Amino acid sequence: MHRIYHVSKTGSDRNPGTEAAPFLTIQRAADAAQAGDRVVVHGGVYREWVRPRNGGMSDSCRIVYEAAAGEHAVIKGSERVTGWSRVAGNVWKVSLDCGFFGDFNPYTHPVKGDWIVAPTDCEVHVGEVYLNGRSFYEAASLEEVMEPARRYASRLGTWGGRREEILRPEDTVYQWCCETEGDITTIYANFQGADPNEEETEINVRKACFFPERTGVNYITVRGFEMMHAATSWAPPTAMQEGLLGPNWARGWVIEDNDIHDSKCSGISIGKEGSTGENEFTKYHRKPGYQYQMEAVFRARNIGWARERVGSHVIRGNVIHDCGQNGIVGHLGCVFSEIYGNEIYNIAVKQEFYGHEIAGIKLHAAIDVQILHNYIHNCTLGTWLDWQAQGTRVSGNIYDGNNRDLMVEVTHGPYLVDNNIFTSPYAFDNAAQGGAYVHNLCCGFTNSYPVPDRATPYHLPHSTEVLGTAPTYGFDDRWYQNIFVGGEEEGRSYGTALYDGAPVSMEE
Amino acid sequence: MHRIYHVSKTGSDRNPGTEAAPFLTIQRAADAAQAGDRVVVHGGVYREWVRPRNGGMSDSCRIVYEAAAGEHAVIKGSERVTGWSRVAGNVWKVSLDCGFFGDFNPYTHPVKGDWIVAPTDCEVHVGEVYLNGRSFYEAASLEEVMEPARRYASRLGTWGGRREEILRPEDTVYQWCCETEGDITTIYANFQGADPNEEETEINVRKACFFPERTGVNYITVRGFEMMHAATSWAPPTAMQEGLLGPNWARGWVIEDNDIHDSKCSGISIGKEGSTGENEFTKYHRKPGYQYQMEAVFRARNIGWARERVGSHVIRGNVIHDCGQNGIVGHLGCVFSEIYGNEIYNIAVKQEFYGHEIAGIKLHAAIDVQILHNYIHNCTLGTWLDWQAQGTRVSGNIYDGNNRDLMVEVTHGPYLVDNNIFTSPYAFDNAAQGGAYVHNLCCGFTNSYPVPDRATPYHLPHSTEVLGTAPTYGFDDRWYQNIFVGGEEEGRSYGTALYDGAPVSMEE
Amino acid sequence: MHRIYHVSKTGSDRNPGTEAAPFLTIQRAADAAQAGDRVVVHGGVYREWVRPRNGGMSDSCRIVYEAAAGEHAVIKGSERVTGWSRVAGNVWKVSLDCGFFGDFNPYTHPVKGDWIVAPTDCEVHVGEVYLNGRSFYEAASLEEVMEPARRYASRLGTWGGRREEILRPEDTVYQWCCETEGDITTIYANFQGADPNEEETEINVRKACFFPERTGVNYITVRGFEMMHAATSWAPPTAMQEGLLGPNWARGWVIEDNDIHDSKCSGISIGKEGSTGENEFTKYHRKPGYQYQMEAVFRARNIGWARERVGSHVIRGNVIHDCGQNGIVGHLGCVFSEIYGNEIYNIAVKQEFYGHEIAGIKLHAAIDVQILHNYIHNCTLGTWLDWQAQGTRVSGNIYDGNNRDLMVEVTHGPYLVDNNIFTSPYAFDNAAQGGAYVHNLCCGFTNSYPVPDRATPYHLPHSTEVLGTAPTYGFDDRWYQNIFVGGEEEGRSYGTALYDGAPVSMEE
Amino acid sequence: MHRIYHVSKTGSDRNPGTEAAPFLTIQRAADAAQAGDRVVVHGGVYREWVRPRNGGMSDSCRIVYEAAAGEHAVIKGSERVTGWSRVAGNVWKVSLDCGFFGDFNPYTHPVKGDWIVAPTDCEVHVGEVYLNGRSFYEAASLEEVMEPARRYASRLGTWGGRREEILRPEDTVYQWCCETEGDITTIYANFQGADPNEEETEINVRKACFFPERTGVNYITVRGFEMMHAATSWAPPTAMQEGLLGPNWARGWVIEDNDIHDSKCSGISIGKEGSTGENEFTKYHRKPGYQYQMEAVFRARNIGWARERVGSHVIRGNVIHDCGQNGIVGHLGCVFSEIYGNEIYNIAVKQEFYGHEIAGIKLHAAIDVQILHNYIHNCTLGTWLDWQAQGTRVSGNIYDGNNRDLMVEVTHGPYLVDNNIFTSPYAFDNAAQGGAYVHNLCCGFTNSYPVPDRATPYHLPHSTEVLGTAPTYGFDDRWYQNIFVGGEEEGRSYGTALYDGAPVSMEE
């Protein structure tokens, strides 16, 4: 009774979708597939935003989307662009009619929203230019594009004012900028000698590669794809959290064995939908941002935030890298999920924008979430558990080469951090309470401080029901059998410096 | 502190929106307006779908959209189309690239969904052709367009199999049809001698004239506009209920003094949003339609269906006419609303499609809704209160020239029908219980019958909280001081005929 | 930090409760014990109603009440009564001031309430007389007590009008009756030659042996006691369901290794509390009983009926016998519980009163309840799953010598009945849908029928959230690998007789 | 169909309750009365705790309890006691078996619980001794009773350390004490020359005069009684709040034209029930008291705290006086109520115990409560609105001779204080925000200060739904057209003194 639909670059959307007569687009299969069906995508590049129309009925009656065995199926949020004309030297330009973009033009849409800190003197857009798969850096002006300066470290705000290196300085001279007049968007880019009409030159145009338009599309499996080039927006806990890939407020997704990269902001989102708040602090400034965030929790309860409807996702075996904000992000929607066996790296290392809410894995309200056996490296921050990390376990992960490895903030626990290896010089910030740290190897220095001036919710055990809110008095943790190799930053004493100096706790 | 934005056909969206330097589009003002602001629209035709971005904060801090005093501001969901070429005789055609329509092409979107009964042998689309403001009739084929037959009465199913006249048979020879091949949609129309390139020929292209894209945009006032030509979809109680104008699941709108007409399906919708169900019966056939409808009620509770968030609208002083399904429709979203002083006429009189869910005013779950002092005439059914009419009052309305005046169905009350004048030959169907009929003048025959095989919910008084479900045992009504002039249809005895014969209660 | 309190018949309530200086009463320990504490009760008879004052905090931080290892601790709801005076022959009487009973006098409190059918010509009281531990039979008058007739089978209504034998007819001549005038209650009893002042003569005076007075006393363990002689009231699904032992609407109790017997109505109750309904059908007759029952479900949701707060009990290894209505009863409060390894017998076999709601295990709304490996014999009905048996499993039980073994009624499943042995001649009634019967050995006849005229709720999977209500269309079951030995009652054909004849489905 | 039951001191509970054959006790009528019925109580003294068994169905279908027109019906929580024997001099004693008290002995039950401050060196009991209607003062020992010292002012903690006079020092030499050994309670009292066996000597024995035992008994009217002498317990916002009279967590009571006095703690309670918390701070000390209070709000939501079920009471035209803690108290249960036209005086002026939570009217979560046209005098604090005073109005009241007139604390409003006359030297404390003070005459000094370290909930407008929690930043108030006569205490500057000095904001 359940069907298998095939999708192939040689197919047609007027076909029945059989193996012999496959569909051409994944979306065509997504429109047809019902609970219990399977969509097999054969090798090739699919430039689509797949918006699953239906969901499965239960964990055992799913809709499965998978790359055909042994074939390389790629979904791209970008289009290839030719027709570049040379401006001068290495700089070329192309002009695109807004009709090219449809409803959404990434080149008029800046990275902004709640908790964005920088840049303030110019705009960074969610658009992006890629030359043979490698992303460029956005410049503030055509002048900069004409004479691009190499960048070595973040020029923006950083955590504690520390220096944050850019991973590949040599790439930073590939710069671009854009301008939109009336219906025409023009992109200028410095290709450093390459001919953009000959090489594979792409720009991102879609918000996502695989993401339902409506909420409540449950029990989808996504397996074995490469997905890249999404023009995702900034994803704070007080807005719709877009991802290159994600369930958009649903239950029971399995995301496994994919290679996900080059999302402008977040790779996988298992986070908040929009009706519970859309950057109200940035828009209205009526209340502090964390007040809007708290209201989002209560609003979410009233639209059905509960184990029955949201969360319980499995994210395993994926490689997630080279995203601007997060490898995995999720406020509220992440509850009861398991994230294991993933490799996550190069998150936010281009340093094009800065705000809070940046990490390899950034979760709020990670109730009963399990983060196990992941390898998280070369991120500005490895993992950040913020607000309502209750019943959360971080176990068996390897953190390496991150600017910081772990932060746990304004939560009351209980949460468990065990059997991890933290090798970075700055191991973790503990601005929380109710944690147990057991059997970790910790090579860097650590920091603990209270946050007495902000109340955050706590919940009934294993539930999204709110039981109360309380400030973080701090320090009520348990430490068993950890190995601290040592580690202290120059001129910075243990456990007090950041708290005294950093105003972050006041505004977030 | 609160601002007034002006919109004028002579303005520009780069202007600041002041009276001296107004905006060009209403949408530009809608993007700017915040709680407390006012948008004044000056005379002219605005071909837009206005999607209010922000809402007000409370009943006393609204966002007001109004036509400038004494000026005639019109919002149309249609575009004017020229470039017609003559096919033969009175028949012309025009071909449009799908880019013309953007994301939504009404000419590939049929009127279908739960409880649609007919036609079954062809498709009727939500698109429409207008010549000098008057709508055409869709034909099943180009042949019919070439030689259009005059239509006098419905050829489709009708209530009880009764003959339903078409209001203006002379208009029915203005026929059209459409076909879409690849990216090209071609429309054929018989203009009966007129030159479509000379006259004002329009086709609808947008789903709505004034309707937020997201839910929860509260406390909007819409005053003094003419709005017309929306390609609205069929609006059953188990799907997103689109309207030419409406709040899309919000609280506290005031819709007053507008002239609303020529919506393909519904004029004003104060009904259901989509996440609680989208024609599951039509899509899946797993359960009876009413079972999906019952689930929609419980799902709605879980996304916050309560007095605090939804309903409490005021719809007054509007003229609503010439819509294909409903003048006003609303399931769930209508609670605690007042509908008074409106004139509603010519609803569903073109007889192009038939299903249940057709009436001048069709409400489900009209908890504490007040329908007062309206003049409802020349509709196939004047007012239909279906399921959960609890605390509902229908008072002081005049019903005239309708095929039926009133139907109340599978509800447990209490509800009150008082001081109305029912002049049509078929006064009402009472398939409910818990009603009080007081001081009505009733010129037609009436019908009462139980519906023992379907349970519908009942609620705590003045609340959306469900207290239980029960079947309609029927007949538990109160009758005081009504005047029954008489009236009986030929060959049809009082109170039993339709119930015995009509299978509707089994499937709806 | 956690304490162990000792209770001994040689103790004093002024003691500190240590092993050396134990308390005298269990209640004294119950007033002192807090989460994490243990109460050890040494051998002896405790005539108390233990009302735990506090509960535990979680499954791992409980309050444990246990009989001291190797000692026999008995809690009795009865008092020993002496001072009997001979009336005539074997009949004696005793008069007791109402002060003897405190707030509750079982001898003025009849067995009555919703769904009680008989007797109608006299009252049966929740009081009881015991001679050397064996309970008497209540007579309708002193005359009957003077000349007691031996009883062989039920004189009252029975399921399908079948003959139901009384287990020990020789005991039925031990009869009693009572009368209360002003403040004096007089009990007459025929001791068949025994001298009640010499033998151990007891009458029950307390509603329960171990049952909190307030709701929400969570995480209690009760282990190793013998408990007997409670004057429990009739426990329908529309009233407070009293039990000799039970949590009274709480979460996470463990009841293990106890010997529980001679409760007038129910042995263990994991059922409904009172605020959601108290026999409204019997009191008011405004609506059918099942309508009140449905309202109880919705009312329960509104007082927090959810996995977070109610149910998840474990009942294992107990012997439960000789109760008048149920071995275990539970509406709503039973969700997510496990009942395994118990022996349950002699339930309702005295045939002193009759109503629906009688079985060895009688559960309503047994969402995700597991009934495993129990031995249930010599009951009028072994197990009855009524309404909302969703996610319920009945597995590995042995049913023997029951008048009927199993009934499943007006539920939509899914539920699973597997690997059971049904040896009684009347194996089961299936008035439900959505069941799977797998690998059972079934020696008796079975019966299946729909109940189309009553809607009952169904829920989100593994949740108490209501998704809808529906009637029982019936017959949608799965049967795999069962062995049917045969079995049919004389003059009764398979699968239709009871449904055609019995009006029970109309009123329950 | 609705019945009128009569109760008379000449009646009998075996009567049918007609006017000709009335009942003897009000409770007998309360057991019989159903929705729509009326209970008429004729003149005389009824020593009962009336526990209404049933409630009404709606505002228009109530159960009314009223004193017969022109007759004086009194309900007393006390019993008359004779059998006093002289100990020495003016001191007499009486010994009472615990059977005299039934389940509740006020003389073993101290005034204690959350936010009780004093006394700490001895216990004050909820019991009380009255000589000819006048209450005594409890002494710490028999020695004090033998030689009673006249008391002039509070010896306990007071607000800001100010001196609080005792109203009638001459009464303070009427002292008593009690002791309980085993089953015997002995009361000693100094009758100052009176013979207690000759005079009317009473002691309170019951918790209430008119108060249901179970929650959810809605729509009761209580009119025209005198009620006195209840042994009510301390009523903090974190416990069951007992009152001499009250609905016990129900909806729609009308309490009018009664004379209510001499309740040990609170006169009328429209407050919290017990399942949401019972003095957990005092019992367990696991969290700060206000944390338990916040949890009580969320717990209450989960047992159905909503307009549909709780509150909407009317308390009008009553005289309430001489109670130890509150004239009217209510946390949560008070929502949507109206309190108008009452006279409230002599509240907490005996100074026998001290804690927070003492006032003529003390409400928490007074959402949309109207306090209008009351005359409140000679109280230690006139009116105290604490936490969640949102939509609350205090209008047209006269405050006179109070130690303080008004306190509003840790609430975010909006609330309105208008047209009141505050004549006391210490007009009010404003430790809140979001208030509007309009057209008041204010003769005393006032005080405003923030409470930044404690978050309290705020709600959707006109709803009990929680939207968030926030600290009290303070000072965001509106002041229009108030007249400040002046007033400042010696050595105390305006607006800062109490805040700097008083630790109350840290612990409450």
Distance from CA of C209 to the nearest CA of D (A): 17
Instruction: Show residues of chain B in contact with D307, CB under 8 Å.
Output: 463
Instruction: Say if B468 is an interface residue toward chain C (CB within 8 Å).
Output: yes
Cis peptide before C457 (omega within 30 of 0): no
Q: How far is C240 from chain A (nearest CA, A)?
A: 26
D467–B contact, CB cutoff 8 A: no
- Tell me whether D463 touches chain B (CB under 8 Å): yes
CB contact, 8 Å: A304 with chain B?
yes
Burial of C405 (0-12, 13-18, 19+ CB in 10 A): buried
CA B488 to chain centre: 30
Q: pLDDT tens digits, residue range A346-375?
A: 999 999 999 999 999 999 999 999 999 999
- Tell which residue, B277, B291, B286, has the closest CA to residue C476: B286
- What is the C-alpha to C-alpha distance for residues A90 and D212, in angstroms, rounded to an integer? 87
Contact partners for chain C, using 3 or more CB pairs closer than 8 A, are: A, B, D
Strands of the sheet with D91-97, listed across from one edge: D85-88, D91-97, D184-190, D175-181, D137-138
Predicted confidence at residue A499, as pLDDT, reads: 34
| Residue contact B462–D58, C-beta within 8 A | no
CA atoms of B25 and D384, how far apart (whole Å):
53
Kindly identify which residue of chain B lies nearest to residue D459, measuring between CA atoms: B308
Shortest distance, CA C316 to any CA of chain A (angstroms): 25
Please indicate whether, in this complex, the C-beta atoms of B302 and A284 are within 8 angstroms of each other: no
User: CA Rg, chain A, in Å?
Assistant: 22
CB atoms within 10 A of CB D425: 17
Whats the size of chain D, residue-wise?
Answer: 508
Yes or no, beta carbons of A465 and C58 under 8 Å apart: no
Q: How far is CA A40 from CA A15, A221, A247, A438, in A?
A: 15, 12, 19, 43
Evaluated on CA atoms B232, B233, B239, B240, the torsion sign reads negative
Q: Give the mean model confidence (pLDDT) for residues A410-422.
A: 97
Q: Which of C230, C226, C304 is nearest to C262 (CA)?
A: C230
**Whole-complex ipTM:** 0.91
* B243-282: pLDDT as tens digits: 999 999 999 999 999 999 999 999 999 999 999 999 999 9
CB contact under 8 A, B466 and C298: yes
Statement: residue D499 has pLDDT above 50: no
Which of D34, D284, D303 lies nearest to residue C303, judging by beta carbons? D303
Choose between D61 and B500: higher pLDDT: D61
**Record: contact C465-A58, CB cut-off 8 A:** no
Give kind and range of the element (H or E) at residue A146: helix A142-146
A180 is written with which tokens? 């939109």
Nearest CB to A465: which of C308, C460, C462? C308
d(CA A244, CA A226): 11
Residue B304 has its nearest CB partner, among A284, A303, A309, at A303
User: How many CB atoms sit inside 10 A of residue D319's CB?
Assistant: 17
Burial B14-33 (b: 16+ CB within 10 A, else e): ebebeeeebbbbbbbbbebb
Peptide bond into B119 cis (omega under 30): yes
Measure in Å the smallest separation between the Cα of A99 and chain B Cα atoms: 8
The SS3 assignment for B137 reads: strand
| pLDDT above 90 (res C507) | no
CB B454, CB B431: distance < 8 Å: no
C461 reaches A (C-beta below 8 A): yes
Could you tell me whether strands C85-88 and C91-97 are parallel, antiparallel, or unpaired per DSSP bridges? antiparallel
> Out of D58, D309, D460, whose CB is closest to B308?
D460
For D291, the closest of A298, A466, A470 (CB atoms) is A470
**Which chains border A (3 or more CB–CB pairs < 8 Å)?**
B, C, D
Nearest to B152 by CA among B130, B126, B171, B174: B171
The reported pLDDT for the residue numbered D364 is 98
Question: Do C165 and C150 form a contact (C-beta atoms < 8 A)?
Answer: no
Handedness of CA A130, A135, A140, A142 (dihedral sign): negative
Question: How many helices (DSSP H) and strands (DSSP E) are in chain C?
Answer: 6, 43
Distance CA D444, CA D421 (A): 10
Q: Do A455 and D469 touch (CB under 8 A)?
A: yes
User: Which residue reads 């005086």 in tokens?
Assistant: D345
User: For residue A295, which residues of chain D lie inside 8 Å, CB to CB?
Assistant: 467-468
Query: For residue A99, which residues of chain B lie inside 8 Å, CB to CB?
Result: 99
DSSP state, A374?
-
Cα A305 from Cα C264, distance rounded (Å): 44
pLDDT at B503: 30
Does residue D183 belong to the interface with chain C, where contact is any CB pair within 8 Å?
no
Please tell me if residue D82 touches chain C, with a CB cutoff of 8 Å: no
Query: Is the confidence at residue A504, as pLDDT, over 80?
Result: no
The 3-state DSSP class for residue C371 equals strand
Distance, CA of A475 to CA of D421 (rounded, Å): 50
For B467, which of C298, C455, C467 is closest by C-beta distance? C298
Segments of A33-115 assigned E as strands: 38-41, 44-46, 63-67, 73-76, 78-80, 85-88, 91-97
> How close, in Å, is residue B429 to chain D by CA atoms?
30
* 3-state SS class at A332: coil
**Residue D453 touches partner A, C-beta closer than 8 Å:** yes
Q: What is the DSSP letter of A50?
A: B
pLDDT in tens, C206-260: 999 999 999 999 999 999 999 999 999 999 999 999 999 999 999 999 999 999 9
Q: Nearest C-alpha of chain C: how many angstroms from B166?
A: 40
Residues C64, C26: Cα–Cα separation, whole Å: 12
Omega cis (within 30) before D119: yes
Confidence of residue C164 (pLDDT cuts 50, 70, 90): confident
Higher pLDDT, D184 or C504: D184
Residue pair B205/B232 in contact (Cβ under 8 Å)? The answer is no
Q: Is D471 on the interface with A (CB under 8 A)?
A: yes
Exposed (0-12), middle (13-18) or buried (19+): which is C68, by Cβ within 10 Å? middle
Cα–Cα distance measured from residue B407 to residue B413, given in angstroms and rounded to the nearest whole number: 14
CA angle A360, A361, A364 (to 5 degrees): 145
* CA distances from residue B201 to B48, B92, B136, B171 in whole angstroms, order as listed: 17, 12, 11, 15
Is D58's CB within 8 Å of B465's CB? no
DSSP 8-state class, residue C365: S
In angstroms, the CA A506 to CA D283 distance is: 35
Distance CA C268, CA C317 (A): 13
pLDDT at C493: 42
Tell me how far apart the alpha carbons of residues C62 and C378 are, in angstroms, rounded to a whole number.
Answer: 35
Please write the tens of the pLDDT for every residue from D352-392: 999 999 999 999 999 999 999 999 999 999 999 999 999 99
Q: Where residue D495 falls among pLDDT bands split at 50, 70, 90?
A: very low
- What is the C-alpha to C-alpha distance for residues C488 and C484, in angstroms, rounded to an integer? 11
For the beta sheet containing D254-256, the strands, ordered from the edge strand earlier in sequence to the opposite edge, are: D4-7, D38-41, D63-67, D220-223, D254-256, D314-316, D338-340, D370-372, D392-395, D415-418, D435-438, D478-480
Pair B52, B38: CB distance under 8 Å: no
**Digit-coded pLDDT (tens) for D115-166:** 999 998 899 999 999 999 999 999 999 999 999 999 999 888 778 778 888 9
**Which residues, other chains included, contact C295 with Cβ-Cβ below 8 Å and sequence gap of 6+?**
B467, B468, C277
Dig out the tokens for D57 from the structure.
């169905």
State the pLDDT at residue B337: 98
| Distance, CA of A425 to CA of A427 (rounded, Å) | 6
Size of interface A-C (CB pairs under 8 A): 18
**Residues of A whose CB is below 8 A from D506:** none
Cβ neighbours of residue D503 closer than 8 Å, sequence gap 6 or more: none
Q: Return the SS3 of B106.
A: helix
| Strand arrangement, sheet containing A314-316 | A4-7, A38-41, A63-67, A220-223, A254-256, A314-316, A338-340, A370-372, A392-395, A415-418, A435-438, A478-480
Q: What is the arithmetic mean of pLDDT over B207-221?
A: 97
Q: Which residue of D has its CA nearest to A473?
A: D453
Joined together, the tokens standing for residue D495 give: 């607006």
Q: Under a CB-based contact definition with an 8 Å cutoff, are residues A315 and A342 in contact?
A: yes
Out of D58, D309, D465, whose CB is closest to B308? D465
The rounded percent of chain B whose pLDDT value lies above 90 is 87
Q: C463 and A308: CB-CB below 8 Å?
A: yes
Contact (Cβ atoms closer than 8 angstroms) between residue D144 and residue D177? yes
pLDDT score for C505: 29
Distance between CA atoms of B13 and B324, rounded to whole angstroms? Answer: 35
- Please state whether the peptide bond connecting residue B414 to the residue before it is cis, i.e. omega within 30 degrees of 0: yes
Instruction: Search chain A and give the residue with CA nearest B276.
Output: A216
Asked if B170 is an interface residue toward chain A (Cβ–Cβ < 8 A), one would say no
Task: Name the token pair of D395.
Answer: 């209008």
Q: Got the DSSP string for B35-61? A: TT-EEEE-SEEE---B------SBTTB
Considering only alpha carbons, which residue of chain B is nearest residue A277? B216
**Tokens 């008497």 -> residue:** C136
Query: Where residue C487 falls among pLDDT bands split at 50, 70, 90?
Result: low
Residue B505 has pLDDT above 60, yes or no: no
